[in-house]
Every structure is written in structure tokens, then in C-alpha cells.
Structure 1
Amino acid sequence: MTENCDPHRTGPASPTRRTVVTAAGAAAATAAALPLLTPGPARAAGQDPRSDTGNPVFRHGVASGDPLPDGILLWTRVTPVPEALPGSGAGPDTPVRWEIAEDEAFTAVRASGTVTATAAADHTVRADVRGLRPATTYWYRFTTGGGAAAVVSPTGRTRTAPADGAAVPGLRFGVVSCSNYEAGYFAAYRHLAARRDLDAVLHLGDYLYEYGTGQYPARPVRAHLPAHEILTLGDYRMRHAHYRSDPDLRALHAAHPVIAVWDDHESANDAWSGGAENHDPATEGDWQRRRANATRAYFEWMPVRPAAEGTVFRRLRFGSLADLHLLDLRSFRDRQAAAGDAAVDDPDRTITGRAQLDWLTAGLGASGARWQLIGTSVMISPMAFGSVPSYLLRPIAECLGLPSGGLALNTDQWDGYTADRRRLLRHLHAGSLTSTVFLAGDIHMHWANAVPLEAATYPHSPAVATEFVVSSVTSDNVDDILGVPPQTVSLVAAAAIRAANRHVSWVDLDSHGYGVLDLTERHTQMDYYAVSSRTDPGATARHLRSYRTAAGRPGVERVSDPVR
């Protein structure tokens, strides 16, 4: 994104100027096809005093993702010898056995196999398991060695998707975005990990951040590794590993399958197909090489199946109830225009790329599912800002990626690519695809929006979809920038935003937290949660608000209680 709430960033008009913020991801070739680039120096992957797993071989935990009716993708990383640190390129090839069972005691093992952890893949291993039963909870684990030397990983829990076309009474997903390690602790992940009612967790981008220590935020709660801004393959690997030193992140992955897309910070801030706002070729080398590094590390460390051309756009189906269309809004987009530039309306400029937009509209039109969920990394609803008081304009502008002058345009979001947005929304309207829900993160705020066909005349013109946006897990929002208690001065700005945007039912500018999305045949509901503090590893969570949309009736209505 145009870096969320970063007080030091420059605007999109100067994308080659070095700033104190960086990265997020995109890619052009599959991880397997990428060359092995020179890794950076080896470093230990853990400074968090809570990060010791007690298992030196499987110290980065286990994970699963991308559930299918008959399968699931399993992941782990092994440290076969002490010197085989992430990003080091050191350590021997190591056979790793995996098992998946229908009970936690592993008395009913349904599939097993062996894969090899190699230094070439940073000793990460993936098993794309098939032949499982749909809509079934499974437990899985990994083992190295044999006999008395055998080492067993922590046990993970996962779940397959419902059978294609099957009647499904309901689905429930956790929804998260924007987890900056240095900005605080991942209590939101801990609270989602503790739930046993989720089919999966959707991570909508900025899973990690690429900055050097103290660049964003300026006063870190805890330090990440490596300390410098990440550029090389070894750097990106090490940063992924250090994020996995967090016990709450490991717990989330062990508890639920994760369905992830990337935004920009997985590679570099305001990434586009040919560069990034925070990448300077003169001092940081070739952008495509850096992006290849970021992409390769992402597919090594994340339980994500690479899609076409090594990107993350793909489609998952959940019986007859929902199709989930996941978008890659970094790999194919044109460079961001300057705020206020008429180029935002140029019909030849794209955020999706023509092939991806065609894939999306064709899939929407062909789907027979009750709900169409579109997972995006940036908000599609248009934004205008009216008369926000000057003392609040700066932090609002920083969170939304606007110049401090407050131009009503965030060109890193769909507002900067209006032709693509118009094409997609007109397709929804023409096809009467009225049970479409966009899911987004990126801007460190909770939002509940109707998505209007024509924002200027809404509500006299129709809404064609609904959008639920979740706040950050830890990344800075308005109260953090101002240094004030949450839900105080920002309430003035929230009221001004709603007054200028009649399609916005609610916006919370301050809370860190997560969402829980519940789907039935009749309704889709988002429950918004906030954690009590991002600086407290034991932070509690509380329900803030809930909004739902009725099938066939785009828009949102407030409901009093979260789903049970």
C-alpha cells in the first residue's frame, strides 16, 4: 500500500526516492523456477524471549493452507544441524516424514509420505496431500530421524473444504491483515488460534514487513531480524523465519489452515509490476531480482500453492455456499499515479492486469455458489474526505496513503485505477451478482461498506456489492500516530469520513484486531474485534461491532451480537 500510517513516507509521485518504509510482494515466476540467488549472512532467528519452542529441529512450527475438498497443503521447516539457520544455505539434505490423521492421537492415520528438506529450499518442506475426505478435521505432524534419534514436530490441526456442489449450512473464517513484528505482539493471532469454530483464516496481505529496525515504527516494541532492510534471498528467508519465532503466529498456523495473498510489504512498499516506491535501483540493484527473492522466500515459507506465473491469484470453492476468488494486486499493476492526476481514469491503466480481470469476471459469471467472496489486498470502495479538521488530516492522510494536503484519492488502491473498478462493478451489476462480498485489509482500519456502482449518486444509484475491511494486527493507525487514547479525537475524523462517503456505514480508525466472517445461505456477517493493546503479549480481545449483508441485497446493516 501507499505506506499505511507511516509519518516519513513520500507520496506516490516520487516512487524512486528512498523512504524509511518498504516492501510487499508480487512475483513473475514460480518459486520452483526461480534461480537460487546468493543468500545473505546467517543469523539466529529469535530475539523474542517467548519464542523458544523447546524443539530445536522444528523450531518454526507447522502450518497448513489452501484447503481443497480432498486435500490440504502441509508445511514445516527443519533445522537438521545448528548451523542450518534460515537464509544460510548451510546444512545437509534431510528426509522428513509427514502423517495426517483423523484423530489427535494418530491412531487413524489416513495418509503419510516422505519429503526432503534441502538447503536449496531453505530446509522448508511442503506436502500437497490428496485423497482426504471433504469437510473433515485432521491432525498432522512431521518426523525426522528414526528410532531413539527420531524428532517429532508439534501437532497441527487442519480442515478440508466441503465437497464440490455440496449443500453447506455455514462457513466461518478468521480475517487478518498487516502484522508488523516491530510494532507489537500478535495477540490477535492468539485469539483466533484459540477458536475451534473456524474453517480457515484469511490473511489479506502484509504478512511481514521489510524495513530495517526502527524505520517503521520509529520506536519498535521489539526488534526483528535481520536488522537492516531486506533485499537478498537470505534476507527475506531470515525475516520470514523471525516472524515464525513468534509463538502466537505459530499457534495460528498450527490451529487452522491459512489462506493468504500478498500485498506490497512482502516485497517493497507500493510495489507495481516494474518497481516499487521504496526500491532505488541505483543503490539496491535490479527490482526484478529483488522481487524474485521475495517471491521465492514467500512460497518457501508460506502454505500457499503458486498460481499462474508464480502469483497468488487463485480460486477456492466451499461446496455450493461460496467461491473464494483471491487476487494478486501487485504483480501486474501499472505504476501508481500521483494523487490528483487524471491518469487514474486512463482506461489503459490496470491494477489487476487484463488476464487476471478476465479470469475473475469469467469465474464470477460461471459460479453457481450462493456467495462470491473476493479477497483483495486493498480496498475497492471509493473514498472522499470532505472537511476533516486540519489536526486530524495528517494522520488520516498517512494511513490512507494521501498527501498531507488531503487530496481525496488513494492511488495505491482501486481509486487509482478507476477503469478496472468500473469494469468489475459493471460486470457484477449486469450479471445480477448481488451476493458478492469484497474482503480487504491494508489501511489499518475497520470498515463496513456498501460498494456503489456510482458513489456520487449513492444511495439513489444502486450498491452492487458489500465490502468488509479489517484493521491491522499491529501496524500503526491514527491513535498510534497522534499518541492519544483510541476512540477519542479520531471520532471526529470518522464522522467526517462517513459524511463524505454515504456508502460507508462504519469506520474505526484506531483499533488493532481481526474479523470473523460467518456465511449462511441467508446472510454473511463480519464480526469486528479489537485487542486491548498491541504492546502487551497477553492482550485481551473484545467484540466491537457486527455488520451483515443479506443474500441478493448488497449493502450492510448493523447487528447487535457476534455469531456464536
Structure 2
Amino acid sequence: MPPLTRRNLLRSAGVFALAGAATTVGTLPAQAAVRAPLAPTGFLHGVASGDPMGDSVLLWTRVTPVPGATPGSGAGADVTVKWEVAEDSGFLRVAARGSVKTGPGRDHTVKVIAGGLRAGTSYWYRFSLAGATSVTGRTRTAPAAGAPVDRLRLGVVSCANLQAGYFTAYRHLADRGDLDVVLHLGDYLYEYAPGEYQARDVVVRPHDPAVEMTTLSHYRRRHAQYKTDLDLQALHAAVPFVVTWDDHEFANDAWSGGAENHTEGAEGTWAARRAASQQAYAEWMPVRFEPGGHIYRRFAFGSLASISMLDLRSYRSQQASSIVDPAIGSPARTLTGEAQMDWLLDGFSRADTQWKLVGNPVMIAPVRFPSTLSSQEIGAVEQLLGTTTIDGVPYNVDQWDGYTADRSRVISHLRDNAISDAVFLTGDIHSAWACDVPADPLTYPTNGASVATELVCTSVTSDNLDDILRTPPRTASVAVEEAFKAANPHVKYLDFDSHGFSVLEVTPGALRMDWYVLSDRTNPASTSTLSTSWQVTAGSRAVSRVGGGAL
């Protein structure tokens, strides 16, 4: 039999009859996503901003200059797009303007750094070409370096599979009007073909193209399809994003030399596929990244907080195949790569901010599997977390658990340098966690102090444990959660079932995350409800529950 992998589990269900592919388009403000035909030309994929700094912000759009210049087609001539940034929505006080050339070489996407702006200031922006004008977006620069900041509020999201549901989580975030930044921790889109990964085997919205994406044209078309979602467009237009990638922007369980969901030869070379995915990502995402550079980077928000965004796919060694293999803890094996590790540790030591936040695509807190789980529960958790049973033991080889030497370097650095207020913000595993990060999990909490904390957000739409078990939410999963917490006392909160988003508030006194859950990811009008709130008080290195109302 083939090995038990996420790809085999997904494909074992077969390919289902699909409705015809459709896309969405609309105008702001935020509204529930509806299906409608695309207009032939113009700014069909919305506007976005990202990577805010004290004096600049990146602006993004995509223009369709003629009807045939569709994403991934390579058609259409070069054109020059104008852009402008203003201090008011009527563009009476223009702060910056310019023009930029784009064409089929970058799929008619536009990225520009708008500089010379004032720190900690809201701006409006738009694009124009030949009489067509984009919707107006709103963005905000970061506070000046070292400036006192009373509060920073972020939306936190990951794992948004278009086939599995509607992006109503994005709509709820866009409607808030109080966010400084949206932090997207990876799996912004998924590589699978229709019928391979969806909501309890029901394809809510089929992927375009109708194949697993492996070529540059595929990746461009898939990015374009996601950018036609009205709720995603609304959030991009309302708040600047800070993003990093995880594996599904490339292929499942990607590493530096391949991926679990890549067949060398039949799907081309891994080098070509990775290059194609990175080029499309650079073109279609509001991020200060171009192929040949690196996506790990750091942002400061005054003296209050810094955010270090990690890349845990490009440099990692292949996932371990055996927990008894001494290589699993070998310093020769790496998750981050040497240069990124040095950069991360140096950022902790030299930080000029109180809170050291880390955009962490995969979980760093250790997770031991309970011995009390049934075979069905073990299989479901393996599928959810992307883990593997090796030598008879379930193990998180795709997370920091599979790269223990790198994790030890981080933990030792935090402990030995008495660094406080380090918080890992994590996605990937379609579940909500609030954890201490212990110096030694075997002696925690008696003699093993916590060196940091970790807060994990749910998926926007991707399958959770109840979906995999085919049970109602908050039924069969509850006993599994309790077993995990009993086996891992540093895990204080765990929800394996919910879909939604998180809101993170940072103040000098405490950092707090609220988890919001959707009533139904397959309903474009889904409501959201506050599920729980956890905080890290300044200097505590520990999570604690918060009562009271929502942020």
C-alpha cells in the first residue's frame, strides 16, 4: 500500500462531479461573495497594499488592458499604469503619484513602492489606465522607529481554500474598520485540482484551472481566481497585508529539494515548479519580494512591536522518515537555513521594540501524541496536522518537532539571553492553540520554565478534525482535544473544529488574541462569533485566559 500521506488521503476519495467554474467580481465596500461574469477589461482583481514601513508602503493591482489579456495567457501589450496616493478619499491632497509599466512578462500585475509618506498615517490610493480607474483602497504607514505606540491591532489568518468554502472571514475583518495590519501566515491559496481537497468532499467553488497547478500559467490563473473573490478584495482594499508563504503556495509539505505533492518528471522538475510558484507569488501578492531575493523580513511598529516573518519552506531539509534516525536532531538538518536562523536570533537580541512577534508558518511548541487515541482518531489528526506515522509513532515531522536542533537553538537563545515578550503567531494546522513554549517539555511546568508563547489561528475554510471525522462540530473532537492537553501541559487551549479568523491586540501591558468562529464556511452570508480570548501579560512568557467582551 502507498504510505499514509495527506495527498493519498485526499485523492483516495476520488474525483467528484463539479459544477461549472465561475468567478466573482464586484465593488467595495465589503459584501458577501456572489458569482458573476468578469467584465472584459479594467482593474478586475482589486487593489491591495502591504509591507508598511514608516515612510512607505507597497501598492498592488492587476490590469486587463484588452479582453484577451487574461491571467496566465501571456497575451496583451505592455502598458503604463498611473497611480496616486492621497491624504483624503477625494484625492484633493495628493501625497505621491507616478506611473509604472507592466505587461505579459509579469502577467500585467503592478507593484510600486509609494515613498515619502508620513509615519503612522492613513492614506487612500488608486490606479488608472486609459480612462479606467480602479476602486479606491485605504492603507496605513507604520509608526516611526522608536515612537511610543499605545496600541497595535492586527487581523490574523491562514489556510484559505477556495474549494472548501467562502471567504466570509475576510469580509468580517474588512467590516471592522479598526485594523492596522492583516497578518497572513500562509496557505493563501491551494495547489490542488477540483475534487482533491474541499469541504467534506463537496466542492463549494471549483479551482481554476481544473488541474493541480504546476506551471507558471497555472499558478498565475489560480492567484487570479482567488483575487476575484469579493471578500478578499474588500479586505485587501481596506487594510495593508503582511504575508509569508507556507507549503500550498508551492505544493503540500514542500522542502528545499521537493515536496510530498510533487512527482519529479511527471510534473516537471521541482526547481522549475518552485520558480514558477515564486514568480507568480511575487507578481500577485502585495509583498516586498522578487524572485532571487528572500521573503523573510522584519517590520517595526514604533517602540511597541516588531514582526519577523519567517520562510520555513525554501531552506529546509527534507522531512524525517524515522524518529529513531539520529539525523532528526542533527545540526546538519535545518528548518530555517543558517542565514535566516542567524537573522532571527539577532532580531531577538537587537530588537528595539518591546514585543518580538514572529510570523511562524508551522508550529514551534512541541506536541506529543496521546497514547489514548483510537486508530481512527490518529488517522484523522494525522491528516489534519500533516503528520506521519513513522516507526509506529505519530510525529509532527513537518513542524519544528521534525527539526529539533533548530528549535533548540531558538529556545536556548531566548532562555540564555533572558529575552521576554517573544510571541510566535502561527498558522498551517487548521486549529486554534494557545501555548507556552517550554524550555524543557519533559519537566514543564515543575522545573521547565516557558521561554516564549505561541498563538495559532484557525483555518479560514480548510478542513478541520470534525470535517475529517464526519462528525458535528464540538462532539467527537472534544475528547481528542482533552487528550492532547493532558499529554502536553504547556498547551492551554485547543480547538480542532472551528473555521474563522483572529484579532490580535498589542499594548505595552499585554498582548491579546480573540478567536472568532464562522457559523458555516459554505454559506457566503456566514456569521461570526467570539469563541475565546487569551493573553500574554508583559514579561510573563505565559498565556492566560481573558474573560469579558470582544476586541
Alignment TM class, shorter chain as reference: over 0.9
Q: TM-score, normalised by structure 1?
A: 0.90
CA deviation after TM superposition for structure 1 residue 533, in Å = 0.6
Q: Distance in 2 between matches of 1:200 and 1:45?
A: 30
CA deviation after TM superposition for structure 1 residue 195, in Å = 1.2
Q: Which amino acid aligns with 2:150?
A: P
CA deviation after TM superposition for structure 1 residue 341, in Å = 3.9
**Is the Cα contact below 8 Å between 1:171 and 1:520 reproduced in 2?**
yes
Q: Which residue number in structure 2 is paired with residue 96 of structure 1?
A: 81
Q: Which residue number in structure 1 is paired with residue 429 of structure 2?
A: 443
CA deviation after TM superposition for structure 1 residue 388, in Å = 2.0
Q: Which residue number in structure 2 is paired with residue 317 of structure 1?
A: 300
**Is the Cα contact below 8 Å between 1:339 and 1:411 reproduced in 2?**
no
Match of 2:526 among 516, 519, 539: 539
CA deviation after TM superposition for structure 1 residue 433, in Å = 1.0
**Is the Cα contact below 8 Å between 2:382 and 2:394 reproduced in 1?**
no
Q: Which amino acid aligns with 1:320?
A: S
Q: Which residue number in structure 1 is paired with residue 112 of structure 2?
A: 127
Match of 2:52 among 47, 52, 67: 67
Q: 1:196 to 1:331 in 2, by over 3 A?
A: same
Q: Which residue number in structure 2 is paired with residue 385 of structure 1?
A: 369
Q: Which residue number in structure 2 is paired with residue 46 of structure 1?
A: 23
CA deviation after TM superposition for structure 1 residue 18, in Å = 11
Q: Distance in 2 between matches of 1:182 and 1:467?
A: 29
Q: Distance in 2 between matches of 1:180 and 1:325?
A: 25
Moved more, 483-492 or 62-71: 483-492
CA deviation after TM superposition for structure 1 residue 311, in Å = 2.5
What secondary structure does 2:343 align onto? Answer: helix
Q: Which residue number in structure 2 is paired with residue 174 of structure 1?
A: 155
CA deviation after TM superposition for structure 1 residue 389, in Å = 3.5
Deviation per CA, 1:387-433, whole angstroms, max 9, x where unpaired?
12344222112112234687242100000000000001110111111
Match of 2:496 among 509, 512, 517: 509
Q: Which residue number in structure 2 is paired with residue 330 of structure 1?
A: 313
1:528 and 2:509 aligned: no
1:263 and 2:246 aligned: yes
Q: Which residue number in structure 1 is paired with residue 28 of structure 2?
A: none
CA deviation after TM superposition for structure 1 residue 9, in Å = 7.9
Q: Which residue number in structure 2 is paired with residue 344 of structure 1?
A: 328
**Is the Cα contact below 8 Å between 2:296 and 2:310 reproduced in 1?**
yes
Q: Distance in 1 between matches of 2:11 and 2:86?
A: 47
CA deviation after TM superposition for structure 1 residue 228, in Å = 0.4
1:427 and 2:408 aligned: no
Q: Which residue number in structure 2 is paired with residue 25 of structure 1?
A: none
Q: Which residue number in structure 2 is paired with residue 105 of structure 1?
A: 90
Moved more, 553-562 or 299-308: 299-308
Q: Which amino acid aligns with 1:469?
A: V
**Is the Cα contact below 8 Å between 2:364 and 2:400 reproduced in 1?**
yes
Moved more, 486-495 or 305-314: 305-314
**Is the Cα contact below 8 Å between 2:10 and 2:197 reproduced in 1?**
no
Q: Which residue number in structure 1 is paired with residue 142 of structure 2?
A: 161
**Is the Cα contact below 8 Å between 1:62 and 1:250 reproduced in 2?**
yes
Q: Which amino acid aligns with 1:109?
A: V
Q: Which amino acid aligns with 2:265?
A: A
1:402 and 2:402 aligned: no
CA deviation after TM superposition for structure 1 residue 19, in Å = 7.3
1:414 and 2:397 aligned: no
1:195 and 2:172 aligned: no
Q: Which residue number in structure 2 is paired with residue 475 of structure 1?
A: 462
Q: Distance in 2 between matches of 1:431 and 1:143?
A: 51
**Is the Cα contact below 8 Å between 1:339 and 1:409 reproduced in 2?**
no
**Is the Cα contact below 8 Å between 2:77 and 2:104 reproduced in 1?**
yes
**Is the Cα contact below 8 Å between 1:51 and 1:246 reproduced in 2?**
no
Q: Distance in 2 between matches of 1:518 and 1:563?
A: 11
Moved more, 109-118 or 301-310: 301-310
What secondary structure does 1:283 align onto? Answer: coil
Q: Percent sequence identity over matched residues?
A: 51
**Is the Cα contact below 8 Å between 2:153 and 2:178 reproduced in 1?**
yes
CA deviation after TM superposition for structure 1 residue 483, in Å = 1.8
**Is the Cα contact below 8 Å between 1:472 and 1:514 reproduced in 2?**
yes
Q: Distance in 2 between matches of 1:125 and 1:495?
A: 48
Q: Which amino acid aligns with 2:514?
A: D
Q: Which residue number in structure 1 is paired with residue 342 of structure 2?
A: 358
Cα RMSD after superposing both structures? 2.0
Q: Distance in 2 between matches of 1:304 and 1:363?
A: 20
Q: TM-score, normalised by structure 2?
A: 0.93
**Is the Cα contact below 8 Å between 2:51 and 2:287 reproduced in 1?**
yes
What secondary structure does 2:73 align onto? Answer: coil
**Is the Cα contact below 8 Å between 1:51 and 1:245 reproduced in 2?**
no
Deviation per CA, 1:524-553, whole angstroms, max 9, x where unpaired?
001011011110000000000000001111
**Is the Cα contact below 8 Å between 2:34 and 2:230 reproduced in 1?**
no
CA deviation after TM superposition for structure 1 residue 484, in Å = 1.6
Q: Relative contact order, CA 8 A, sep 6+: which one is greater?
A: 1
Q: Which amino acid aligns with 1:212?
A: A
Q: Which amino acid aligns with 1:413?
A: Q
Q: 1:455 to 1:198 in 2, by over 3 A?
A: same
Deviation per CA, 1:1-56, whole angstroms, max 9, x where unpaired?
xxxxxxx98449xx9x99749xxxxxxxxxxxxxxxxxxxxx99826853557684
Deviation per CA, 1:417-456, whole angstroms, max 9, x where unpaired?
0000000111011111111000000000000000001111
Q: Which amino acid aligns with 1:545?
A: T
Q: Which amino acid aligns with 2:421?
A: S
Q: 1:263 to 1:562 in 2, by over 3 A?
A: farther
What secondary structure does 1:138 align onto? Answer: strand
Q: Which amino acid aligns with 1:231?
A: T
Q: Which residue number in structure 1 is paired with residue 354 of structure 2?
A: 370
Q: Which residue number in structure 2 is paired with residue 466 of structure 1?
A: 453
CA deviation after TM superposition for structure 1 residue 340, in Å = 2.6
Q: 1:307 to 1:231 in 2, by over 3 A?
A: closer
* Number of residue pairs matched by the alignment: 529
**Is the Cα contact below 8 Å between 1:527 and 1:562 reproduced in 2?**
no
What secondary structure does 2:138 align onto? Answer: strand
**Is the Cα contact below 8 Å between 1:45 and 1:85 reproduced in 2?**
no
**Is the Cα contact below 8 Å between 2:145 and 2:301 reproduced in 1?**
yes
Q: Which amino acid aligns with 2:23?
A: G
What secondary structure does 1:166 align onto? Answer: coil
CA deviation after TM superposition for structure 1 residue 308, in Å = 9.2
Q: Which amino acid aligns with 1:332?
A: Y
1:206 and 2:206 aligned: no
Q: Distance in 1 between matches of 2:318 and 2:310?
A: 18
Deviation per CA, 1:230-254, whole angstroms, max 9, x where unpaired?
1111110000000011111111101
